[in-house]
């Protein structure tokens, strides 16, 4: 798309969100693979299917404290007609018994103890009566009752985790139990974060009238980590073309570049204009049919996505999650491109919207115990610069382009803020 300078002119048209994401996706490529220690792989995305090299468990073991027996020796047992077995050995938790179970014999066994040869069931301690080495059984047990069979959890050679899977604590446990100490994952994309604006001051400075404490870089740095990226916060850049160009050139050492501020139609909204001066820049979109976040612009330079996000904090957050967060996940080949949990809720009041634009509405959730469902209360706000409105909210509801809002009591989907 050819760049058009919209400063002091305004946008003539806006591209729909879905079309923007589709166009953006067509320009993205997956990051290379890297091998990491399994114990350090939390939150990483698998680069390949994983097969288990072992059975889990790798031996048949008792699931209860009790007695290993032949199930057939317990058939017909009852309170009136107990079956009697001879105890011939006792297994400790880390021992393998060399004694073989034969007809009408039993071996005492702890939870996790290896099932001895000849046994095919375990009867619980509380279901028997013991007198020295004699055992009375009052209840029959079926074959393999209370036995965790070899390969019951995982069979050797089975695919235990699929490519694109996000590694959680339970996946780490499964990998380690399978004796897999290293895994191939997709490398995290580095995200250069550049905040712009001559009015911005650092967080440890006291702002004067007309100045604003810069918080956007910290906000999207946190979001970047939530989505799986590796954030790199660069310096605040004043509204100066040369300074902005220098910061852009430096940022091209990273995989993704995200500017905040300076993307709209004001005289000092310079970023899209500066980016377009590079001969190798390609503009994908400038102006998206969404609220908040409509001034968002997306470019490609050297196969790297460059995002120009609005400066208002809430608009920055929503634009980041919608486009940059998506890009991070796409470049890591994640199966789940939007990691935010979703809940159904009943809207507590009517919310109007404009046809042809996607609205992102901050909502607070209230759980009604009697009705067993969530209700969503839109957070009242005067605009996307009100940070407290995001703090009061639990998540975002979207009003799609083909609707003019939602009526009161409509069922909606709320995307919850991360982390939860």
Q: Assess whether 195 and 74 both reside in one domain.
A: no
Compute the distance between CA of residue 33 and CA of residue 160 in angstroms, rounded to an integer.
19
Which CATH number does the domain housing residue 40 bear?
3.90.105.10
Q: Assess whether 231 and 255 both reside in one domain.
A: yes
Q: Does any domain span residue 272?
A: yes
Q: Does any domain span residue 309?
A: yes
Tell me whether residue 126 is exposed, middle or buried, using C-beta atoms within 10 angstroms of its C-beta: 0 to 12, 13 to 18, 19 or more: exposed
Q: Does any domain span residue 374?
A: yes
* pTM (2 d.p.): 0.86
Task: Kindly list the distances between the CA atom of residue 236 and the CA atoms of 71, 199, 325, 339, 401, in Å, as whole numbers in the listed order.
Answer: 74, 10, 22, 30, 35
Q: Does any domain span residue 219?
A: yes
Q: Assess whether 272 and 249 both reside in one domain.
A: yes
Q: Assess whether 46 and 131 both reside in one domain.
A: no
Q: Assess whether 206 and 321 both reside in one domain.
A: yes
Residues with Cβ within 8 Å of 399's Cβ and at least 6 positions away in sequence, in order, are: 351, 353, 358, 359, 361, 405, 406
**229 near 328, Cβ under 8 Å?**
yes
Q: Assess whether 49 and 193 both reside in one domain.
A: no
Give me the number of domains the chain comprises: 4
131 in helix, strand or coil?
strand
Could you say which of 92, 119, 148 is where a domain stops? 148
For 251-305, what is each residue's pLDDT tens digit? 999 999 999 998 888 887 899 999 999 999 999 999 999 999 999 999 999 999 9
Q: Assess whether 237 and 255 both reside in one domain.
A: yes
Q: Assess whether 250 and 361 both reside in one domain.
A: no
Mean pLDDT of all residues belonging to the chain:
95
Q: Does any domain span residue 2?
A: no
Residue 40 has pLDDT above 90, yes or no: yes
The average pLDDT across 170-181 equals 98
Q: Does any domain span residue 10?
A: no
Residue 71 has pLDDT above 90, yes or no: yes
Q: Does any domain span residue 9?
A: no
Cis amide bond preceding 392, omega within 30: no
Q: What length is written for the chain?
A: 420
Q: Assess whether 178 and 115 both reside in one domain.
A: no
Task: State which residues form the domain around 79.
Answer: 61-148
- In this structure, is the dihedral angle defined by the CA atoms of residues 403, 406, 411 and 415, taken in order, positive or negative? positive
Which CATH number does the domain housing residue 396 bear?
2.40.340.10
Q: Assess whether 308 and 409 both reside in one domain.
A: no
More confident residue, 7 or 309: 309
Q: Which two tokens stand for residue 127?
A: 């279901």
Q: Does any domain span residue 7?
A: no
The pLDDT of residue 10 is: 76
């Amino acid at each position: 798309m050819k760049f058009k300078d919209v400063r002091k002119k305004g946008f003539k048209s806006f591209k729909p969100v879905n079309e923007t994401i589709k166009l953006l996706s067509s320009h993205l490529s997956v990051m290379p693979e890297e091998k990491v220690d399994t114990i350090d792989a939390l939150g990483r995305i698998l680069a390949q299917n994983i097969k288990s090299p072992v059975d889990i468990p790798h031996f048949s073991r008792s699931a209860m404290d009790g007695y290993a027996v032949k199930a057939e020796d317990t058939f017909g047992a009852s309170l009136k007609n107990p079956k009697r077995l001879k105890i011939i050995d006792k297994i400790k938790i880390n021992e393998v018994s060399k004694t073989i179970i034969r007809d009408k014999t039993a071996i005492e066994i702890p939870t996790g103890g290896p099932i001895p040869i000849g046994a095919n069931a375990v009867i619980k301690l509380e279901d028997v009566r013991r007198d020295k080495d004699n055992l009375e059984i009052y209840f029959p047990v079926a074959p393999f009752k209370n036995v965790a069979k070899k390969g019951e959890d995982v069979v050797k050679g089975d695919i235990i985790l699929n490519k694109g899977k996000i590694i959680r604590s339970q996946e780490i446990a499964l990998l380690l139990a399978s004796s897999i100490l290293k895994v191939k994952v997709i490398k995290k994309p580095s995200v250069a974060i550049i905040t712009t604006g001559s009015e911005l001051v650092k967080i440890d400075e006291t702002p004067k009238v007309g100045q604003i404490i810069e918080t956007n870089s910290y906000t999207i740095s946190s979001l970047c980590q939530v989505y799986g990226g590796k954030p790199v916060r660069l310096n605040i850049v004043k509204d100066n073309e040369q300074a902005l160009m220098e910061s852009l050139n430096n940022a091209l050492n990273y995989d993704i570049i995200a500017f905040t501020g300076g993307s709209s139609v004001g005289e000092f909204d310079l970023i899209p204009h500066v980016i377009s001066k590079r001969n190798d820049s390609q503009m994908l979109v400038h102006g998206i049919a969404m609220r908040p976040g409509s001034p968002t612009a997306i470019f490609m330079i050297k196969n790297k996505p460059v995002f120009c996000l609005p400066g208002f904090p809430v608009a920055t957050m929503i634009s980041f999650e919608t486009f940059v967060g998506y890009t991070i996940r796409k470049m890591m080949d994640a199966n789940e491109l939007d990691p935010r949990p979703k809940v159904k809720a009943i809207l507590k009041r009517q919310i109007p919207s404009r046809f042809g634009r996607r609205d992102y509405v901050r909502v607070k959730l209230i759980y009604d115990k009697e009705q067993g469902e969530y209700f969503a209360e839109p957070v009242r706000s005067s605009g996307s610069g009100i940070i407290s409105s995001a703090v009061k909210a639990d998540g975002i509801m979207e009003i799609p382009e083909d609707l003019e809002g939602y009526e009161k009591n409509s069922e909606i989907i709320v995307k919850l803020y991360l982390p939860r």
